[in-house]
Chains A and B, each alone.
Chain A
């Protein structure tokens, strides 16, 4: 167990629900789930979830901390919001799934190499650099996330699509040299660092 995870587990003991309520986006809604299963039946990637949102909510209440946080279920969320609009108790399920995924990532107990976890990290890194996402650099980073050889194979496999998009002026090879960015990219970096600092302090992460 790493430090952040160890500290969190020690601090909250068996009360995983309290930990979720304190530290996970919209976590205070979890206890409202009445186990109807509409979310499970509404999810486009439902069959690929190890545990549906319905089960995740029950597992949180049952204190199954490691099983929940190390699951790759939440990373199957496509952000389609079907579950949110159909939930009879109006739980913001999509947000809770994002929140759980983020928390598991932050504690570094989310599954290693989970593809959506990696893509999410690369997307954020791209936007933090210049304030805007660079689609070309982001795509290349995604192809090369599993190493150089895999990256070349991925890039070759997608070459046809890339060339077509370039021809359609929807992918600009010059973006590799920098491309679109915010003038105040420096201010944005400072602002994001401050926001993280405030949130960490509120959630009891910093000393």
Chain B
């Protein structure tokens, strides 16, 4: 199989030992099965996420992202930049577009990039991993390697914000995108239909600064999954995954609830459905264990 090559931008949370390291573990097996070759951008830096704006002005933030784009352009020519993290994707894509749209910004950016010995010509496209899967591989293509359908599982597809807005995936609706539900179906599980918290915000970076307000959002997201009969939540977003999984115990402590809803990445579902073991799927990386998924992953056939 001829592999499709991409310039991979993992992002800070996907580094070894960081909060989303199990995303990278699982996406590696998915890519392997689908003929996707991820070539890590050498010496990539932080995108400044959606919280860097407080201290960092627009140009410094654009320059941070332009550095990654320039490194991809120089070292991995002709390849699309791909990130699995919505915040990385959003910042990089916003930068790539803004540099072309606003007069003078490209020149200013390159003047700053020169200090790091780089220059950006503006030829790189920034894409999200889910775009690569949906647009370049397609739903049928994603289905082919399935050897162990996740039969009998009902899963709430929680898309969240930044994978969905403002750019969206494959031109889908911002209010009720379907791709994640389709991916749940592809791996043989049942999407929780009518899950109305699908595109609700988990609080994002404000989970740190405004815990009470964010935890109210998280409680709604989890309780609605229970209401719709789901046994698990799946998400494409690193920050959603961490926030929605990790703070359930805090909410239980403060509000007397008994939330214990596993939250996994789409790549973990796919890895298990593709025959991967719990380690391949990064299932050791959870504070709320996805027990049923683990059982399927441990099963021989």
Q: Which residues of A contact B (CB under 8 A)?
A: 25, 44-45, 48, 76, 78-82, 84-86, 94, 98-99, 101-102, 105-106, 115-121, 123-125, 127, 131-133, 135, 139, 142, 160-161, 164-165, 167-172, 174-175, 180, 182-184, 187-188, 190-196, 198-199, 202
Residue from the list A78, A105, A127 in contact with B54, Cβ < 8 A: A105
State whether B19 touches A170 (Cβ < 8 A): yes
Of B55-63, B188-196, B256-264, the one contacting chain A is B55-63
State whether A115 touches B287 (Cβ < 8 A): no
Of B13, B17, B250, chain A has the most CB atoms within 10 Å of the CB of B17
State whether B46 touches A127 (Cβ < 8 A): yes
C-alpha gap A198/B60 in the complex (Å): 9
Q: Which B residues, 1 to 56, have Cβ-Cβ distances below 8 Å to chain A?
A: 12-13, 15-22, 43-46, 48-56
Contact residues in A for B59 (Cβ distance below 8 Å): 195-196, 198-199
Q: Known contacts A165-B19, A165-B246, A172-B17; is A82 also within 8 Å of B165 by CB?
A: yes
Residue from the list A80, A131, A132, A199 in contact with B204, Cβ < 8 A: A80
- A176 to B: closest C-beta gap in Å: 12
A123-B205, A124-B56, A169-B284 given. 9 additional CB < 8 A pairs?
A48-B210, A124-B48, A133-B49, A161-B250, A168-B287, A172-B16, A172-B18, A187-B117, A199-B59
- A62 to B: closest C-beta gap in Å: 25
State whether B208 touches A119 (Cβ < 8 A): yes
Contact residues in B for A180 (Cβ distance below 8 Å): 12, 15-16, 18
- A93 to B: closest C-beta gap in Å: 10
Contact residues in B for A196 (Cβ distance below 8 Å): 57, 59-60
State whether A84 touches B54 (Cβ < 8 A): no
Closest to A94 in B: B166
Contact residues in B for A125 (Cβ distance below 8 Å): 55
C-alpha gap A132/B16 in the complex (Å): 13
State whether A79 touches B50 (Cβ < 8 A): yes
- A203 to B: closest C-beta gap in Å: 9
State whether B18 touches A135 (Cβ < 8 A): yes
Between A and B, 26 residue pairs with Cβ closer than 8 Å are: A25-B58, A79-B204, A80-B165, A80-B204, A81-B161, A81-B162, A81-B165, A82-B161, A85-B166, A101-B53, A102-B55, A106-B57, A116-B51, A116-B54, A124-B54, A131-B45, A132-B12, A169-B21, A182-B45, A188-B45, A188-B64, A191-B63, A192-B64, A194-B114, A195-B62, A196-B59
Interface residues of B, count at CB 8 A: 66
C-alpha gap A116/B207 in the complex (Å): 10
State whether A190 touches B162 (Cβ < 8 A): no
State whether B206 touches A78 (Cβ < 8 A): yes
Residue from the list A81, A133, A194 in contact with B46, Cβ < 8 A: A133
State whether A165 touches B111 (Cβ < 8 A): no
Closest to A121 in B: B55
State whether A127 touches B115 (Cβ < 8 A): no
Closest to B57 in A: A199
B200 within 8 Å of A (CB atoms): yes
Closest to B50 in A: A79
Contact residues in B for A81 (Cβ distance below 8 Å): 161-162, 165-166
Closest to A183 in B: B43
Q: Which B residues, 251 to 295, have Cβ-Cβ distances below 8 Å to chain A?
A: 284-287
C-alpha gap A105/B286 in the complex (Å): 37
Q: Which B residues, 158 to 217, have Cβ-Cβ distances below 8 Å to chain A?
A: 161-162, 165-166, 174, 200-201, 203-206, 208-210, 213-214, 217
Q: Known contacts A81-B165, A171-B17; is A198 also within 8 Å of B54 by CB?
A: no
C-alpha gap A139/B205 in the complex (Å): 12
B113 within 8 Å of A (CB atoms): yes
8 closest A-B pairs by CB: A120-B54, A172-B17, A79-B50, A187-B116, A124-B55, A81-B165, A80-B201, A115-B209
State whether A161 touches B17 (Cβ < 8 A): no
C-alpha gap A71/B268 in the complex (Å): 43
State whether A168 touches B53 (Cβ < 8 A): no
Contact residues in B for A115 (Cβ distance below 8 Å): 209-210
Closest to B160 in A: A80
Residue from the list A79, A80, A191, A198 in contact with B116, Cβ < 8 A: A191
C-alpha gap A135/B15 in the complex (Å): 10
